[in-house]
């Protein structure tokens, strides 16, 4: 198993807006660790270290070890509050994870074998309905992606969640319907339109020929 990234933190004794502003002026972000049948812990995280993780785009899908004065807690970020003007993080919620727990996470959808998809080879369009799918997963085996194989799909084909192989122990949080992930749409001005245009061209040519014959007479 890959080693989890570590976030260093310090205890935060004071709460409230004034204390939070003072913490941010010191180059740190207020945060809280909660869950796991333990009392919440108020902490602070260095702003630069937090931004480095947040800017990966995977922050809310990644497990971390928070090192709080030598004691580590396994967590997953659940919410990042941003400043309305600067978009800088102003507060972070971290969910404490116990061994054997299951959580719901958004997992990115990736598509493969586009060159083996007849609909796309013929100029069709991959219409992605869901770029991410929420799954309930074991905390020790959070998948980084789910893969959709486009091999053999032609115009009008739909990919539903039931047709995608999911990692062991992972299930969709939506259980009341077989929801759509993507479809293969025909190109605008498809084969039918081209045939119609060809017919119109032939009719026009026939009319021109008839006019020329009449003129010759």
Query: pLDDT tier at 18 (50, 70, 90 boundaries)?
Result: confident
The reported pLDDT for the residue numbered 91 is: 96
CATH of the domain at 46: 2.40.240.10
**pTM for this model (two decimals):** 0.73
DSSP per position, 22-65: HHHHTTEEEEEEE-TTS--EEEEEEHHHHHHHHTTS-GGG--EE
Q: How large a percentage of the chain has pLDDT more than 70?
A: 86
Task: For 137-153, give one letter per residue: b (16+ CB within 10 A) or e.
Answer: bebeebbeebebebeeb
Tokens of 140: 């020790």
Determine the average pLDDT of the residues in 22-50.
95
Alpha-helix runs per DSSP H in the chain: 17-25, 47-54, 118-121, 191-216
Looking at the fold, whether 119 and 181 belong to one and the same domain comes out as yes
Which residues are CB-neighbours of 110 under 8 A, at least 6 positions away? 145, 146, 147, 148
> For residue 199, is it within any domain?
no
Question: Does the structure show a pLDDT above 50 at 136?
Answer: yes
Q: Are residues 67 and 119 in the same domain?
A: no
What are the Cα distances from residue 35, in Å, to 44, 58, 78, 107?
17, 21, 11, 22
Q: What is the pLDDT of residue 206?
A: 41
Asked, for residue 203, whether it belongs to a domain, the answer is no
Domain limit, last residue, from 68, 98, 128: 98
Q: Give the pLDDT confidence of 148-177 residue by residue, as tens digits.
A: 999 999 999 999 999 999 999 999 999 999
Would you say residue 17 lies in a domain?
yes
Given the structure tokens 């045939």, which residue do they identify? 195
Same domain, 91 and 12: yes
Per-residue pLDDT, averaged over 81-86, amounts to 95
Run of H or E including 135: strand 132-138
Question: Are 88 and 108 found together in one domain?
Answer: no
| Residue at 30 is within a domain | yes
| Domain count of the fold of the chain | 2
- 137 and 178 in one domain? yes
Mean of per-residue pLDDT scores for the chain: 87
Phi then psi for residue 101, to 5 deg, are -75, 160
Q: Are 28 and 46 in contact (CB under 8 A)?
A: yes
Write out the residue range of the structural domain in which residue 79 sits.
6-98
Q: Of 202 and 107, which is predicted with more confidence?
A: 107
Whichever domain contains 107, its CATH number is 2.170.120.20
């Amino acid at each position: 198993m890959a080693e989890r990234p570590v976030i260093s933190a310090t205890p935060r004794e004071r709460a409230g807006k004034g204390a939070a502003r003072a913490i941010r002026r010191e180059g740190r972000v207020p945060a809280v660790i909660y869950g796991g049948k333990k009392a919440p812990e108020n902490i602070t995280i260095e702003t630069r270290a937090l931004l480095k993780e947040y800017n990966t785009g995977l922050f809310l899908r990644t497990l971390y070890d928070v090192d709080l004065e030598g004691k580590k807690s396994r967590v997953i970020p659940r919410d990042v509050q941003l400043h309305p003007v600067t978009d800088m993080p102003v507060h972070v919620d971290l969910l404490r994870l116990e061994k054997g727990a299951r959580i719901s996470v958004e997992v990115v959808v990736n598509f493969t074998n586009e060159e083996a998809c007849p609909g796309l080879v013929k100029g069709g369009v991959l219409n992605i309905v869901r770029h991410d799918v929420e799954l309930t997963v074991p905390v020790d085996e959070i998948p980084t992606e789910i893969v959709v194989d486009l091999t053999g799909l032609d115009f009008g084909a739909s990919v539903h969640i039931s047709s995608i192989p999911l990692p062991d122990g992972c299930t969709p949080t939506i259980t009341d319907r077989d929801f759509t992930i993507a479809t293969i749409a025909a190109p605008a001005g498809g084969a039918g339109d081209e045939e119609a245009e060809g017919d119109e061209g032939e009719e026009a040519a026939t009319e021109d020929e008839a006019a020329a014959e009449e003129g010759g007479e």
